[in-house]
Structure 1
Amino acid sequence: MTRLKICGLRRLEDITYANELKPDLIGFVFAAKSKRLVSFRQAAELRKALSAEIQAVGVFVNEQAETVAKLLNSGVIDLAQLHGRENRNYIRRLRQLTDKPIIQAFRIASQEDTEKARDSIADYVLLDNGMGGTGEQFDWSLVTGFDRPYFLAGGLSPDNVAVAIDRCQPFAVDASSGLETNGNKDYDKMKRFVDTVRLTR
């Protein structure tokens, strides 16, 4: 059964939408260059309004492991998603500081990239077109036969997610920009996405 993640929530309205639609996971983006950036304080407030049924993921780019662990251990987030240059040593260090799950993101542009993702020591890997939130998909043929649980991201929308699930058989699908209108989360797009995934899986 394909799990659902909606990333880039940053307004109370977004949390209200999520609480109604109940994706498995939502994402708070802590990457400084992202237009979906939220502060740690904002995330903590939004988390208080989030249904206990939904897990929160923190998206980081080259953040200090101690900071990531603090957010995990305090309950602001349940999982960490690493989108920068974090390597095995970083993940090992983070595991010394917390027992919460880790997702490592990979930009997939070649078969070599999929091999690197397959060898990750993170609990899960996320396969994307770029640094996240680009709204563009990669060549899905590169993950044919990928033999570990992974999050599929990159350009997913209500219009293509059924094909993505059928073709790629991911553990989870992750959407952000494909669920927005004028830079904000769009309830109707979120609902269509959630309904489509649930009908497909």
Structure 2
Amino acid sequence: MAKVKICGLTREEDINIVNYYQPDYIGFVFAESKRKVTKEKAARLKRQLDTNIQAVGVFVNTPIQDILDLCNENIIDMIQLHGNEKEDYILELKNKLPHPIIKALRPDSKENIEKSLTLPSDYLLVDTYIEGQFGGSGRTFDWSILPGKAEKIFLAGGLNAGNAEDAILTCRPYCLDVSSGVETDGLKDALKVKAFIDIVRNVTQNIN
């Protein structure tokens, strides 16, 4: 069954929503973004998060020690690298931490994705390529460039309740990652979160 990640949580209200509707993952953004949270705020939100939901920290070219601190203080359970981090950076994290690592990729070709599948990260997050931007565009991309086997892939970029079914049937990703697609006026919307999760779970139950 395809999993769901609700990214960009910033408020206690967001935690209440996800605790009720139970996605598999949530994301705290530590990179520059309108959804950026401080370490202190993320720690406070994580204490209120249902233990069945894993918290993913989203980073862009962050000093490794900052990530180590967040992991060792149990503020995040997984690491998402959204910048220009190379293989040696990923290996250093893996040597120092047991936490799963997601490497984000902004694809321009199927070959680019297949090459990235050889990286030592546990998963890839494939997001829309926008020059000069590290993600969060809210736009979809051509899903046909994804490889046939997408069991390691978090699919992101412009997802919402209206296209989630098509995304699953086209790509069969490990997880669908959504942020702006479950927001209204820049804030997480409980009804949109529910609709997205319901569609993902209903579709994947029917195809498995």
TM-score computed with the length of structure 1 as normaliser: 0.96
- 1:182 aligned partner, one-letter code: D
2:3 aligns to what?
3
1:189 aligns to what?
192
Q: Which runs of 5+ in 2 are unaligned?
A: none
Alpha-carbon offset, residue 146 of structure 1: 3.6
1:135-158 CA-to-partner distances (Å, cap 9, x unmatched) read: 101100000414551101111001
Q: Percent identity?
A: 47
- 1:140 aligned partner, one-letter code: W
Structure 1 residue runs of 4+, over 6 Å off?
Answer: none
- 1:68 aligned partner, one-letter code: I
User: What is the alpha-carbon distance in structure 2 between the residues aligned to residue 95 and residue 144 of structure 1?
Assistant: 25
User: What is the alpha-carbon distance in structure 2 between the residues aligned to residue 89 and residue 186 of structure 1?
Assistant: 39
- 1:8 aligned partner, one-letter code: G
1:94-125 CA-to-partner distances (Å, cap 9, x unmatched) read: 11221111000000122232123222210111
1:167 aligns to what?
170
1:46 aligns to what?
45
User: What is the alpha-carbon distance in structure 2 between the residues aligned to residue 96 and residue 73 of structure 1?
Assistant: 14
List aligned pairs for 1:65-104, cutoff 5 A.
65-104=64-103
- 2:100 aligned partner, one-letter code: P
Alpha-carbon offset, residue 82 of structure 1: 0.1
User: Is the contact between residue 102 and residue 124 of structure 2 (CA under 8 Å) also seen in structure 1?
Assistant: yes
**2:157 aligned counterpart, secondary structure:** coil
- 1:135 aligned partner, one-letter code: G
User: Is the contact between residue 55 and residue 75 of structure 2 (CA under 8 Å) also seen in structure 1?
Assistant: yes
- Corresponding position: 1:19 with 2:19: yes
Q: Which runs of 5+ in 1 are unaligned?
A: none
User: What is the alpha-carbon distance in structure 2 between the residues aligned to residue 189 and residue 139 of structure 1?
Assistant: 24
104-113 vs 13-22, greater mean Cα deviation = 104-113
TM-score computed with the length of structure 2 as normaliser: 0.93
List aligned pairs for 1:18-37, cutoff 5 A.
18-32=18-32, 34-37=33-36
* RMSD (Å), alpha carbons: 1.1
Alpha-carbon offset, residue 132 of structure 1: 2.1
2:161 aligns to what?
158
- 1:30 aligned partner, one-letter code: F
- 1:75 aligned partner, one-letter code: N
- 2:88 aligned partner, one-letter code: N
